[in-house]
A = this chain, B = another copy of it.
């Protein structure tokens, strides 16, 4: 399953080079991830408040291909790459006018609120695995 969501590049996302600052690609990866959870009926607030579980990142990477600019409508795509007992890894890519502007990977780990590593809550892991295995 590839989850996609469109976003608009904002003035504040740009820098003096006239393009989106490299850190902001990660912000859009994360915005897409948040919409992905919503689409599955998952909720990071529920995870935190009811399960006492956070999903901090242990790895993040991005390769930049083509600059995104103010007012561009970009499409962020998310694919669940791997679900392990305590981690989930996402692949992201950003399409700008059909062209791949950037691609990256983000790996999250489940922890308690005081940062002890734990298993992903069962339903959460199950939903992610289902999303990974679903075609389309």
Contact = CB atoms under 8 A, between A and B. Distances in A.
Identical chains bound together, number: 4
A51 interface: no
* Residue of A18, A19, A58, A59 with highest tally of chain B CB at under 10 A: A18
Contacts of A1: none
B115 A44 contact: no
A135 B11 CA distance: 29
Contact of A15 (B15, B23, B62, B67): B15
Nearest to A58: B64
Contact of A21 (B12, B38, B43, B115): B12
A31 interface: yes
15 contacts: A10-B30, A10-B31, A11-B15, A12-B27, A16-B19, A16-B48, A16-B70, A17-B54, A19-B56, A23-B27, A23-B30, A34-B71, A59-B61, A60-B64, A61-B61
